[in-house]
Amino acid sequence: MTFKNTLRSGLVLGTFGVLGALLVSATEVQTRGVIQHNERMSLLSQLYELVPQEEVDNDFLQHPLTLDAPKSLGASDTLAYMGMRRNALAAVVFETTIPNGYAGPIHMLVAVGGEGVLKGVRVVSHSETPGLGDKIELGRSDWVLGFDGKSLVDPDVSRWKVKKDGGSFDQFTGATITPRAIVESIRKVLLYYDQQHRRLLDRYLRESRAVSESTPVRKKAEDLS
């Protein structure tokens, strides 16, 4: 093969490489927005499953609060989604992590109503043993529904344990570690809400107001005539 043929082949291959890279890049740009939209809608659907849409009049995802409370929520930089109703706090949905699940971290959404009563709990992801620990999934068991309507006074905070430990909550046959960890995690979330909900509300209102004031307001067409 002559030098010219080699050069020509190299140029052809290089051209195809550049075109391929441009095609991949263009496809990624086109699909990024769709992926982000789908992820947002999926999360919003999960939030509305815990707190029905008619119970709030704000956008859950517009101003989530970033929280640094690893002792209460299991990890740093978790999010809290604030649900408002007529400028009053209707609910907060906390992202929380259980680092010491039986087979790895367990990620949950825990919704607490304005009066400190649980509106619902959902396990978002986990690595628990199939057939045992995976009963924490609503699709496999209604166990997590047993937290609906519970609070720090129902049952008493001292009874936020599984029955095997003298508490009020069922465990699974052959699997105690997972439900024990979840009960304890939810108890910590309720305590955190009880101690911090006023500060969370003040911060949410302050940050929302700051964002609104910094956003230019466009005049209506009729105002420009």
To the question of pTM greater than 0.85 for the whole model, the response is no
Please report the beta strands in the chain, taking only residues with DSSP state E, as ranges in sequence order: 65-67, 78-85, 88-98, 106-113, 118-125
Rounded (5°) CA angle 24-29-34: 120
Residue with the two structure tokens 């939810």: 186
Task: Tell me the pLDDT of the chain averaged across its residues.
Answer: 84
* Residue range 58-117, pLDDT digits in tens: 999 989 999 999 999 999 999 999 999 998 999 999 999 998 877 788 999 999 999 999
Give 224's pLDDT tier (boundaries 50, 70, 90): very low
At 121, list the tokens: 């709990």
* Residue range 151-160, pLDDT digits in tens: 999 999 999 9
CA separation for the pair 82, 112 (Å, rounded)? 10
* Residues whose CB falls within 8 Å of the CB of residue 105, separated by 6 or more in sequence, listed in order: 97, 98, 99, 126, 127
* Residue range 14-64, pLDDT digits in tens: 676 666 666 666 565 566 666 766 778 889 999 999 999 999 999 999 899
CA separation for the pair 189, 74 (Å, rounded)? 9
At 195, list the tokens: 């101690």
Higher-confidence position of 184 and 130 = 184
| pLDDT score for 176 | 86
* Residue range 171-200, pLDDT digits in tens: 887 678 889 999 999 999 999 999 999 999
Over range 132-161, report the average pLDDT.
91
Bridge partners, residue 81, by sequence:
93
| pLDDT score for 14 | 62
